[in-house]
Chains A and B, each alone.
Chain A
Amino acid sequence: MRILSLAGRRLAASIPTLFLILIGVFLLLQMAPGDTVDALMAQMGGGDAATARELRQFYGLDLSIPMQLANYLWRLVRLDLGFSSIYGKPVASVILERLPPTILLMTASLSFAFFFGLVFGVIAARGVNRWPDTLISTLGLIFYATPSFWFGLMAIVVFSVYLQWLPSGGFEDIGTMQTGLWRVLDIARHLVLPTFTLGLIFLAIYLRIMRASMLEVLNLDFVRTARAKGLDETHVVTRHVLRNALLPMVTLIGLQAGTMLGGSVVVESVFSLPGLGRLAYESVVQRDLNTLLGIVFVSALLVIVVNFVTDLLYARLDPRISADS
């Protein structure tokens, strides 16, 4: 209960942050050349000034900027993100349609990066300054420096064009509509390359943190005690060290949530996945500012939620956190 109230308080503290972001980006977008009506008129193939004026009145764009901002925030409280003139639908439903692939991709990449980061980090720390450590650390540095979109393109060349093992893009096969388990397998096949591509840089970060954290915990007194009482090395590592070394890794999930969402913009564009990131890119290209603002809102919300979950997880792993403060 205590954990929940603690995490809840942090969640409540992030609401002003969310408003700050929205107000900031709203005001920023006022400076953009052209508004929704311009985009709409261009879509219709042009029109006269009178129609434009009417439309502006209809969308409330003739009001002063503070009034528009107040209107927007009031609609937001009712979860109304406005209307996308490009897609001809409410922004909320456009975003909801695009959310599942992104969440799936992020979860898969995070699991991939977390798991292999952990394994490689442990291996590197166990053989510190010997060849496994050198090899893993070097690979980590190279992965960290690899631009994700480039890695994605090269993976397409190797695995889709030459070996023809995996599809080069898309979320599922549209030609053969599949159902049930086959559909799940089909989507999984399509997500293999994007998952590796997005997860690569995080794998590099996680293994570095895991290695450092393992080395630190391995020097603590309770590890010496565990060894002294005759536990074998595997037991010491899995039961005693790992749990404590995991804490910085969990912190990192919260810190990297935003970066990962940003990375999915690029990865979804490389693999033409119909996700939130690609929607962000499309709305910039098509000047659909309403949708863009909606995406800003949803991605900030997503980051806040991930941090909330991380807090809960952290408290579970480390009972001391809920005990004091």
Chain B
Amino acid sequence: MDALKRYFRSPAAVIGLILLLVVIAMAISAGFLYPRDPLSLAGRPLVWPFSNPRFLLGTDNSGRDIAAQIFYGARISLLIGGVATAIAILIGILVGAFAGYYGGWVDNVLMRITEAFQTLPNFVLLLVLVAVFGSTITTVTIAVGVVSWPAPARLTRAEFLSLRNREFVQAGKTLGMRDIKIILGEILPNALPPVIVYASVVMAVAILLESALAFLRLSDPNVASWGNLIGLGRDVLRVQWYVSAIPGIAILVTVLAVSLVGQGLNDALNPRLKSR
């Protein structure tokens, strides 16, 4: 409760939460406000924003409603960001937990692999994964998750290292509990909060990664994604710059919202660090 109160005392955190709720509301109401397929022809191409009440945000180069694509794009960004983050956190927790709990050669092997993933630029690895497995929305989401796990893994490992010799863990061992039960049932709940807070950073980066991939036309072209629209708008950038500008603002707002909420949670849960 205290944490909740602290969260709402920070104006930045509240603004972040409001922005995030707006984006979520856009994602939910997309089908209801724009029942037609957002990628279908809607009217004349390249209508400027606010010039035609039918298309509030104008139309793109192939005459598709930009507003509709922004609303549906919120779905795609949140979906990819959310699922990829879940994948990254899950792999990260597993790797970090085993490395931190067992130590020794398990730790060595797992950390070597983590290091390998961190040495290779994650966008380059993303390109390799897309080159091999193609670019449907499923493969792109999994690929973004697979390149994002090392940081959460290190964080989880550090938490486990500091917790594994505590009394409650030793009590569990004395009681004859199995390792897996100690790891998942005893240590993990204590190690989880910082990892969950860090998830907001992973999600912000995941959304940016996917949009960059879509901008390069290496993501799924069959969904209305903000990155796709920016890439499309590039062809008419010199005059109709709004086609690229509008979805970019949508990405900016979403990533900003996610980071602000993450920072707010962090400050609320670690009040001692807040003064920094």
Which positions in A face B, CB cutoff 8 Å? Answer: 14, 16-18, 20-21, 24-25, 28-29, 31-33, 141-142, 144-151, 153-154, 156-157, 161, 212, 215-216, 258-259, 261-263, 265-266, 269, 280-281, 284-285, 287, 289, 292, 295-296, 299-300, 303-304
Contact = CB atoms under 8 A, between A and B. Distances in A.
Interface string B252-273: 1101100110000000000000
A299 B276 contact: no
A153 B248 contact: yes
Interface stretch (B36-44, B59-67, B92-100, B230-238): B230-238
A292 B256 contact: no
B119 A14 contact: yes
Contact of B128 (A25, A33, A151): A25
Interface string B1-36: 000000000001000000000000000000000000
- The contact size tier of chain B is 35 or more
Interface string B198-211: 00000010001001
B248 A258 contact: no
A150 B248 contact: yes
Interface string B118-136: 1111111111111111100
B69 interface: no
B130 A284 contact: yes
Contacts of B256: 141-142, 145
Contacts of A269: 216
Interface of B: 12, 112-113, 115-116, 118-134, 204, 208, 211-212, 215-216, 218, 227, 230, 233-234, 237-238, 241, 244-245, 248, 251-253, 255-256, 259-260, 276
A87 B198 CA distance: 43
B275 to A, nearest CB: 8
For the complex of A and B, list the 9 residue pairs with the smallest distance between their C-beta atoms, beginning with the closest: A262-B123, A150-B248, A145-B255, A262-B121, A145-B256, A258-B121, A261-B121, A20-B116, A32-B132
A76 B129 CA distance: 22
B216 A156 contact: no
A48 B248 CA distance: 48
Nearest to A156: B237
Contacts of B131: 29, 32, 284, 287, 289, 292
Given A147-B212, A261-B124, A292-B131, A17 B119 contact: yes
B216 A296 contact: no
A145 B218 contact: no
A258 B127 contact: no
Contacts of A25: 120, 125, 128
A278 B120 CA distance: 17
B107 to A, nearest CB: 15
A262 B122 contact: yes
B237 A17 contact: no
Nearest to B133: A31
